[in-house]
Amino acid sequence: MLVTTKRILNDAKKGGYAVGAFNAENAEMVWAIVNAAEELNSPVIVQTTSSTLKYFPPVYFANIVKAAAAIASVPVAIHLDHSASYELAKACIDSGYTSVMIDGSALSYEENISVTQKVCAYAENFGVPVEAELGKIGGKEDDTECSEDQYTDPNQAVNFVERTGISSLAIAIGTAHGIYAKTPELDLNHVANIRKVVSIPLVMHGASGLSDTVIRDSVKKGISKINFATELRIAFTDTVKTYFVEYPGDIDPKKYMGAARVAVKGLVKSKMLVCGSAGMAK
């Protein structure tokens, strides 16, 4: 069933688990993510980035996920990840996305508030929840790049949430987008401090490559949504590469793409188990 992220993330916050948000690049990855959720009876978020939506427009992915959700017994949301513009967020809402993120973290604080308010005002007309980011998360995510972390200030977070009306907040605690070159030093107590003063669900970006222990601890401290992207791309691509080593003359996309989607499904299931969302579908 197709739902908004507001419903499933509020349930996660109350239940003390996190919902995985998994980036999909094609129909095979959507199949893998939704089927993993079905097998574990887990709520799930399928999300796309701005670069993915340059490859296929929002309406393509919206309808692929809608079709998958229509035959699924678990809650499925489709979310726009890391939009840097109001225009893309609007296009996704118009196309049927049930959640969007506006990322104004590269802007000044007041500019971030302004663009977030604008997206929230439009999204409210359709009952679509909005995620925003406060602080700066290191690494590169599509067109968004940051060389240094800037931790989210708890007091500023309170003001930001009150002034924008967002439904979830992505916070900076030392994570980074992409695969880590070295073990990151995360401040999970910072999560707990923000959780004490902010009532809406908190989001952690840059989870690819983090240990299971760190992910579990972040959930215990108050994270309700965790994003996974790079690891899924690696699993998909490495499986296709391996397939062609074994079957260099094969030309049937269903075979090598099919093998890749099975690999991604296995990875997604493992992340759901770590997040604690297995068995939590309502």
Q: Say whether 133 counts as a known binding-site residue.
A: yes
pLDDT value for 161:
97
pLDDT of residue 146: 44
Angle between helices 109-124 and 154-164 (to 10 degrees): 40
User: What is the C-alpha R_g of the chain?
Assistant: 18
Q: Is 79 annotated as a binding residue?
A: no
CATH of 5-275, one of 3.40.630.30, 3.40.1580.10, 3.20.20.70, 3.40.640.10: 3.20.20.70
Catalytic residue among 11, 81, 142, 153: 81
Helix (H, G, I), strand (E, B) or coil at 67: helix
228 is in an annotated binding site: yes
Type of residue numbered 260 = A
- What ranges in the chain are assigned the alpha helix state H? 5-15, 27-40, 52-55, 58-70, 86-95, 109-124, 154-164, 188-197, 212-221, 230-246, 253-275
In the chain, the percentage of residues whose pLDDT exceeds 90 is 83
| Residue 82 assigned to a binding site | yes
81 is known as an active-site residue: yes
pLDDT of residue 179: 53
**What pLDDT sits at residue 144?**
47
The answer to whether the annotation marks 132 as part of a ligand binding site is no
pLDDT at 245: 97
Tell me, what's the pLDDT at 208?
A: 78
Q: How far apart are CA 148 and CA 156, in angstroms?
A: 19
Question: For position 180, what pLDDT does the model report?
Answer: 45
Report pLDDT for 174.
Answer: 78
208 is annotated as contributing to ligand binding: yes
Name the residue ranges covered by the structural domains of the chain.
Answer: 5-275
- The alpha carbon dihedral of 94, 103, 167, 162 has a sign of negative
Residue spans of the chain under pLDDT 50: 139-141, 144-147, 180-181
State pLDDT tens for residues 63-113: 999 999 999 999 999 999 999 999 999 999 999 999 999 999 989 999 999
Cβ–Cβ contacts within 10 Å for residue 244, how many? 11
Residue 175: the pLDDT is: 67
